[in-house]
Structure 1
Amino acid sequence: MPAVADRLRAALGEAAVSTSESDLDARSHDTWPVATLWARLGRHPYRPEVVVRARGVADVVTTLRIATEAGVPVTAWGLGSSVTGQPLPVSGGVVLDLSGHVFEPRLDEVDRTVRVAAGTRGSDLEAWLAERGLTLNHSPQSLGRSTVGGWVATRATGQFSSRYGGIEDLVVGYQVVLADGTVAEVGQRPRAAMGPDLKEIFIGSEGTLGVVTEVTLKVYAEAPHRIVEAFAVPTVDAGLDAMRQITQAGLRPFLVRFYDRDEAAHAVPGREVPSPVLFLGHEGLPGVATAEHTAATAIVEALGGTSMGAPPVTAWLGRRYDFSTIERRLAETGGYAETIEVAHFWSRIGPMYRDLKDQLAPLADEVLGHFSHVYEQGSSLYVILLGRADDDKTALARLEEIWDRAMKVVVAHEGEVSHHHGGGLARQPWVRQSLGSGYPVLERIKAGLDPAHLLNPGKLGFGLAQPRDPEPPAV
Structure 2
Amino acid sequence: MKKCGCFEKNQWYELEKIVGSEYVITDQSEKDVQSIDVWWMTRYCFFQQENFPQPSVIVFPENTDQVRKIVQFCLIHKIHYLARGGGAGDGGGSIPLKGGLVIDLKRMDKIIELNERSLTVRVQAGILQKHLEEFLNRKGYTMNHFPASFNTSALGGFISTNGTGVLSSKYGKISDMVHQLEVVLPNGNLFKSLPVRLHSTGPDYSRLFFGAEGTFGIITEALCKIHYLPEKRSFRAFLLSNLQKGIEAGRQIMVKGLNPCLLRLYDEYDTRHILQKQYGLEKEGCVLIIGFDGMKKIVEAQEEVAYSILEQNEGEDLGEKLAVNWWDNRYRSYYPPLDYICEPWMTAVMDTVAPYEKIETIYWEMKKGVEEGFKSWNAIFHAHFSHWYDWGTSFYPTFLLKDFPSNPHEAIRLYNQILDICVQASIQNGGVVNEHHGIGMRFNRFMKDVSEENYQFSQIIKKALDPESLLNPGKLGLGE
TM-score (norm 2): 0.92
5+ long unaligned stretches in structure 1: 465-475
1:371 equivalent to 2:385? Answer yes
Determine whether 1:417 maps to 2:427: no
Give yes or no for contact 1:227–1:290 (8 Å, CA) kept in 2: no
Q: AA paired with 2:460?
A: R
Structure 1 position 290 matched with structure 2 position 297: no
Question: Contact 2:370 / 2:379 at 8 angstroms: preserved in 1?
Answer: no
Q: 1:339 aligned to 2:349?
A: yes
Name the CA shift for 1:90/1:326 in 2 (closer, same or farther; >3 Å). farther
Q: Does the alignment pair 1:216 with 2:223?
A: yes
* Structure 2 residue 190 is matched with structure 1 residue 183: yes
Measure, in 1, the Cα distance between the counterparts of 2:244 and 2:39: 31
Partner of 2:328: 318
Partner of 1:441: 457
Distance 1:191 1:354 in 2: 38
Equivalent of 1:240 in 247, 250, 257: 247
Distance 2:258 2:412 in 1: 43
Q: In the alignment, residue 294 of structure 1 is paired with which amino acid?
A: E
- Post-superposition offset of 1:327: 5.8
- Checking the alignment, whether the CA contact within 8 Å between 1:233 and 1:276 is kept in structure 2 is yes
Q: Is the 8 A contact 1:25 1:44 kept in 2?
A: no
Match of 2:147 in 1: 140
Instruction: Measure the CA separation in 1 of the matches of 2:231 and 2:462.
Output: 45
User: Partners in 1 of 2:102 and 2:130 — Cα distance?
Assistant: 24
Larger mean CA deviation between 417-426 and 285-294 belongs to 285-294
Q: What secondary structure, in the 3-state scheme, does the structure 2 residue paired with 1:373 have?
A: strand
| CA positional deviation for 1:81 | 0.5
> Letter of the aligned partner of 2:63 in structure 1?
G
Residue in structure 2 matched with residue 473 of structure 1 by the alignment:
none
Given that 1:389 and 1:395 are in contact with CA atoms closer than 8 Å, whether structure 2 keeps it comes out as no
Greater RCO, CA 8 A, separation 6+:
1
State the Cα deviation string for residues 434-471 of structure 1 (Å, max 9, x = none).
2332222222211221111111110111226xxxxxxx
The SS at the match of 2:347 is strand
- Partner in structure 2 of residue 472 of structure 1: none
How many Å separate the matches in 2 of 1:364 and 1:94? 41
Supply the AA of the counterpart residue of 1:445: I
Cα deviation code 1:58-96 (max 9, x no counterpart) = 221111001011111111111110011110011111111
The residue that corresponds to 2:41 in the other structure is 34
Whether the aligned pair in 2 keeps the contact of 1:388 and 1:395 (CA below 8 Å) is no
Q: Deviations over 1:157-194 (max 9, x none)?
A: 10000000010000011210001111121144252101
Residue 341 of structure 2 is aligned to residue 330 of structure 1: yes
Give TM-score, length-normalised by structure 1.
Answer: 0.93
Question: Is 2:168 the counterpart of 1:157?
Answer: no
SS in 1 for 2:233: strand
Q: Deviations over 1:23-68 (max 9, x none)?
A: 2222111111221111211134221122111121122111100101
In structure 2, the partner of 1:348 is 358
Structure 2: distance between partners of 1:285 and 1:152: 29
Deviations 1:345-373 (A, max 9, x none): 11011111001111112355531111110
Contact 1:261 1:273 in 2 (8 A): no
Determine if contact 1:162/1:256 at 8 Å carries over to the other structure.
Answer: yes
Structure-1 separation of matches of 2:91 and 2:468: 24
- Cα deviation code 1:270-307 (max 9, x no counterpart): 22222111111111111111111111111111111110
Distance in 2, matches of 1:157 and 1:35, equals 23
Alignment of 1:383 onto 2:397: yes
CA contact (8 A) 1:49 1:94 kept: yes
C-alpha distance in 2 between matches for 1:129 and 1:64: 32
Correspondence 1:244-323 to 2 at 5 A: 244-269=251-276, 270-322=280-332, 323=334
Match of 2:3 in 1: none
Structure 2, gaps ≥5 residues long: 1-5
CA contact (8 A) 1:41 1:392 kept: no
Q: Residue in 2 aligned with 1:68?
A: 75
- Provide the residue aligned with 1:2 in structure 2: 7
User: 3-state DSSP class of the match of 1:455?
Assistant: coil
Deviation at 1:21, TM superposition (A): 2.0
2:436 partner amino acid: H
Deviates more, 1:305-314 or 1:179-188: 179-188
Listed one character per residue, the Cα deviations across residues 86-113 of structure 1 (whole Å, up to 9, x for unaligned) are 1001111111111111224421000100
Q: CA deviation at 1:260?
A: 0.7
Q: Which residue of 1 aligns with 2:448?
A: 432
1:446-465 aligned within 5 A? 446-463=462-479
Aligned to 2:124: 117
Question: Secondary structure of the equivalent of 2:193?
Answer: strand
What one-letter code is carried by the residue in structure 2 that aligns with 1:272? E
Identical-residue share of aligned pairs (%): 30
Residues 329/170 of structure 1: CA separation in 2 closer, same or farther (3 Å cut): closer
After superposition, give the CA deviation of every residue in 1:205-246 in whole Å (9 maximum; x if it has no partner).
111000000111111111101221111112211111111111
Partner of 2:58: 51
In structure 2, what is the Cα distance between the partners aligned to 1:327 and 1:275?
A: 22
CA RMSD of aligned residues (A): 1.8
CA distance in 2, matches of 1:328, 1:299: 34
Q: Give deviations 1:373-399, integer Å, cap 9, x for gaps.
A: 011111101112333126484655543
Report the alpha carbon displacement of residue 411 of structure 1 after superposing the two structures with TM: 2.0
Aligned partner (choices 193, 197, 210) of residue 203 of structure 1? 210
Structure-2 separation of matches of 1:158 and 1:221? 18
Q: Following the alignment from structure 1 to structure 2, what is the Cα–Cα distance between the partners of residues 222 and 413?
A: 40
